């Protein structure tokens, strides 16, 4: 079976996120108030062939840890079937 999965990669808590900080600083000028903790990140969408969703997610988690994110500075989260 094929499962459509998503991996979100963001900088870890405590790691400076200059892009997120810059976006947040721009918000008041656009009339947004009360928006905080803005983090910028990356999203990866892909399909995995596997017998079941758990196996597909395990493959995605391995891919996320070894390539899509740098665990020194980033967190990766696998999201379920997004097809």
Partner 1 sequence: MRPVGVLVFPGSNCEHDVVRALGELGAPAELVWHAETDLSGYDGLVLPGGFAHGDYLRPGALARFSPVMGAVADAAAQGRPVLGICNGFQILTEAGLLPGALQQNTGLTFISRPVALRVSSNQSVLTRTTPVGTRLVIPINHFSGAYTCDDATYAQLVAGGQVVLTYEDNPNGSRGDIAGIANAAGNVVGLMPHPERAMSSLLGSADGRGLLSAFIESTVLAA
List Cα–Cα distances, 39 to 26, 27, 43, 60, 66, in angstroms. 13, 13, 13, 22, 22
Which of residues 16 and 54 has its CB atom nearest to partner 1 in the complex?
A: 16
Judging by beta carbons within 10 Å of its beta carbon (0-12, 13-18, 19+), is residue 83 exposed, middle or buried? exposed
Which of residues 56 and 63 has its CB atom nearest to partner 1 in the complex?
A: 63
Residue 68 Cβ vs partner 1, minimum distance, rounded to whole Å = 7
Residues in contact with partner 1 by CB under 8 A are 11, 15-16, 18-19, 22, 67-68, 70, 72-73
Residue 73 Cβ vs partner 1, minimum distance, rounded to whole Å = 5
């Amino acid at each position: 079976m094929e499962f459509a999965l998503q991996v979100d990669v963001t900088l870890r808590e405590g790691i400076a996120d200059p892009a997120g900080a810059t976006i947040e600083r721009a918000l008041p000028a656009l009339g947004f108030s009360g928006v905080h903790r803005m983090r910028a990140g990356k999203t990866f969408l892909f399909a995995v062939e596997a017998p079941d969703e758990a196996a597909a997610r395990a493959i995605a988690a391995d891919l996320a840890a070894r390539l899509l994110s740098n665990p020194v500075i980033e967190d990766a989260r696998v999201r379920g079937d997004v097809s």
